[in-house]
Structures are given as C-alpha cells and as structure tokens.
Structure 1
Amino acid sequence: MNARSTSTLVLNPDELGPNPAPGMDLAVKLGIEHLEIRSAGGANAVTLTADQLQHIRAMADERGLEVAALASPLWKWCRPEAAPGRVDTFGFPTQVPPEERLGWVERAIEAAAILGAPLVRVFSHLRVAEELTEQLLGDPLLAKALELAQRAGVRLLLENEPVCTVADAEPLLEVLHRYHEQGLGLWLDVANLHEVGQATPDVVRALAPYAGYVHVKDYRPADGGGRQFCPAGEGVVPYDEVLPLLHAARPALPYALETHVRDTPADALTAGAAFLRSAVPGGVA
C-alpha cells in the first residue's frame, strides 16, 4: 500500500464468501480502495497456486483496488503431537511439523509479492498443553522470517490473538521491543485486546507506536455467555476511546473491517465503514 498522509479503510472479500468478487465489488461501492486477502475459494491464501494468486491480483486491478495486507496464518500452529482447541485458521492446518514451517514462511512471502501486499500477518504459536507450548520470543524462525521479509520488501506484523501465546500487553510489548528494529510491527486487533481486558488508554498508548495495521470488529455479550458479533461501533469494544489515541500516535494507519457477522456481512461492513469514517479523527479514505 502506498504511503499516505491519511488513514485508510481496508475490506476483506472473504467476509462475504469464498468468491472474492462480491467483496471486491462491495469495496468499490463503499469507496474502499484497499483489500486484505486471507482466503479465496475456500482455501487459505498461502496454499493457493501462483496462478490463483495472480487471478486475485488481476480481479483487484480490474476494479482499481490494491492489496494492503496478506492475513497469513503463520505461527498460528503447534507441533503435531500437541492437541489444539477449536481454532479458525481459514483452511490452514493447526499442527505443523517444525521442519515444514520455513517453507510456509517462504510461501507466504511469495504470495504477498504476487498480490502486491506490503504487509503480512503473523501470530505467536497456539496455546496448548503447557509442556508442548512453544514461545515466539527467541524463536529462530522468526529472526529468519524477518530477514526474508526485509529482502522481499514486505513487513511482518504480529497480531494479538487470545488463543496464541502473545495476547496480553506485557508479552506483546516484550516481543515488539525485541524485534522492532528487525522490522516486526503490530497488527492490532482492538476487540482481541478488549477480550483480554486490556483495551485501556494506557495499554493503547504503549502499543500505538508499534502499530502498522488495525483490525476492527465488534461484539455484544450473548445471552447465556459468549459473544455476538455486530457492526463496528455497535458493541462493547471501546472504539470511542481507542481510535483517537491510535490516531494521535499514528495518524495514517490502515483500518481493516473484520465483521464476523455471518447473516448480513455486507450490511455490517457498510455500517462499519460509515462508523470508522465518522469515528477516526480526520476520517478515513
């Protein structure tokens, strides 16, 4: 994504289904110029062939859209002998032998290059049985991946994901501080931060300097427990506090809509785009 002086909106076409076309068309309708690619045709983007990725890029080009980010599943994995809980990786395996992981890193960076995506999401190993849980801090594969990404002209951004090992502010800041000079940034999911009880002004101020991308989704408490996803701005995630703080520290961030609203995703994305355009100081393009 080209450097800009204003914040931008990003839409993920797979929120509308496996065919990227309806989501891309909705982006055009909403005046959104940037896409996040996670899956297509029911398959994770990093598993697609070069021809399939080039087809997605051509579909975007035809509509005047750019791919802002590849929402890869890297490090949302555990060893084959571990037993992960229910995890949504959009068609990517959760149990990955260590000897296969570098290949997936290389594949993701290649996919980003084909798509023209300057940003690639990574995670921090799944939480499994304590004796089998791996740690991102000190993982030699991360250092190698950052080196490969730098050579390819893409940047790796770490998402704070509650099912993974780095979700709370303290370990998140520790990893970011350790690897920031090597290129690692933050793929900030505000709702995930709220889920772990840390979407507070102090935490957001501490994380904001590392932020390179923001995921925006919202939810309400569901009857009987759990969450019910809703359009951004209509739930309990404190965007009214968080967005001004992020803007003050990083006034040109991409804000990516990730609704998870299953029955009316187009309506939720439309409402979320309108909310962000009004709620981010200075608006979003």
Structure 2
Amino acid sequence: MKIYPIETGNFKLDGGAMFGVVPKSIWQKTNPADANNLIEMSMRSLLIEDGNRLTLIDTGLGNKQSDKFFGYYHLFGDKTLDSSLAKLGFCKDDITDVFLTHLHFDHCGGSIEFNKDKTAYQPAFKNAKFWSNKEHWLWATEPNAREKASFLKENIIPIKESGQLEFINLSEDNYIKNSELNFDILCVDGHTEKQMIPHLNYKGKTLVFMADLLPTIGHIPLPYVMSYDTRPLLTLNEKQSFLNLAADKNYFLFLEHDAHNEICTVKHTEKGVRLDKTYTFNEIFN
C-alpha cells in the first residue's frame, strides 16, 4: 500500500463561523484572519494505492460552480485535483473508488463535472465507485433548512443517476472495522449526520483523516466547535472521546482543512488534550 496527500485547492471562510462561541481575540492566535475576518483553509485529500485499487478520500470543491459562487469563498493558490494527481502519474480515470466523508460541497464538489458542451453533469471519475452511507445520503438529499446551502443537488444527485453509487455498511456502535474499502471508519454525528472518519494503518502507524471532526489545529480545545455543526454539544463529546483515544494511541491526524499544517499529534495535559507536534506527510511516512 502507498498513500499520497492530494492538494485540491484553498479557500477562505469566516473565522467567526469556524469557531462558534470562541472570541476572535483567542482563535486568531492559531488561525489569523484577514481584514474581512476570513481565515485560510485547505481542501486536502488522500489517495490510497492498494493493489489494483486506487481510492481517493474526498474530492474538494470542483470547478463547475459559477464565478459568483466561487466569489463567496475567495479561492487562492494554484493547486488543483488534476495537477496533484498528474504529479504522481495518475489521472481521474485511474481512480477506482471515491470515498466521501460527507456530502458538503467542499468535500464532494469535485466528484461531478460538466460534460464537454456544458449541457449536463457527469461523474468526474468515470471508472470509480462512489462511497457514502444510506443515513447520510438521506440526510443530504432531504436536507434541513440549516444545511441546505451546503448540500448542492448538482454535486449529489448525478452520482446516483450514474449508477456508480455504493453504500458503506454501518455498525450499531458507529465504528466499522475492515470496511468495504479495507480501512476502519468512525461515524460521527455532530457536524452532520453520519460523517465518516477513515482510520488507516500505514507503515506501523494509525493515520486518521479528520474531515470536519477536527478542521484545523486551532479546533483541538473542546469548546472550539464550528457554527456549521448541526449538533455542537454532540461534536464536543465526539471530539473529547476521539482526542483522548488519539493521545493514548499516538494517532497521526491528517488535517483536511488546515492550510498550514498537514498532520498533527495530540497529548494529554493538565488543561485536557492539546496539540503535541505538527508534521508534513513526508516527515512521517517517507
């Protein structure tokens, strides 16, 4: 097995929305804001090469939305999903499986693209199975008013229409061992219903793809919960349980949204679990 980090692009979000009840005077120490109160965010994916299988975890924002839509998110940098794959000698047609942690637009938007004449949508990965779960799929396709703006039909419905959609079989305890994709999955419900957090055993270490359970290192303290989360008190409890385990077992946490830190570890302190060290992917696994 080989694992590669994939940069799909960068964007900006409102710092206050990203930190909920935490004052700017505190959160800006780890996530400095610009003059418009926006903080830098990445959209980082993972590519897993395992035998004949090439699995991509999350697909970023994509490129099919309008200029007006992209204007809300202040895209910056020159990294794209295509260029990152090409750097490794791959292209979208090589992908056999696309695992979507959840269906918010910044995690699944790159799954669907326009056809050549921009008259219809089509899967960006024509040879891949797209993996979600039934509970989250229902949540996304019949969205509540609070999340509706994050679940864009053009990102979601074409996946099912293509016939390439598959569902992960969930477990009663929200932890799936040896899933259909040969890695473990933790399901969490604070951010959105049945978000899936992959756990990968790689080179003797546990690498956890954090998605929106832990967007950046600035979100490690328990009260630092996004306003985007549908059940913030549940997020707090889920973070506490996970971070204690991560500190006990020395997990390496792969940060999808931290524009400046790829991987971190955490440790127990008198104030609770806190940041231990930050690393690049290559510092740990090359």
Q: What is the TM-score when the length of structure 1 is the normalising length?
A: 0.34
Report the structure, 1 or 2, having the larger helix content: 1
Q: Relative CO higher for 1 or 2, CA cutoff 8 Å, sep ≥ 6?
A: 1
Report the structure, 1 or 2, having the larger strand content: 2
Q: What is the TM-score when the length of structure 2 is the normalising length?
A: 0.34
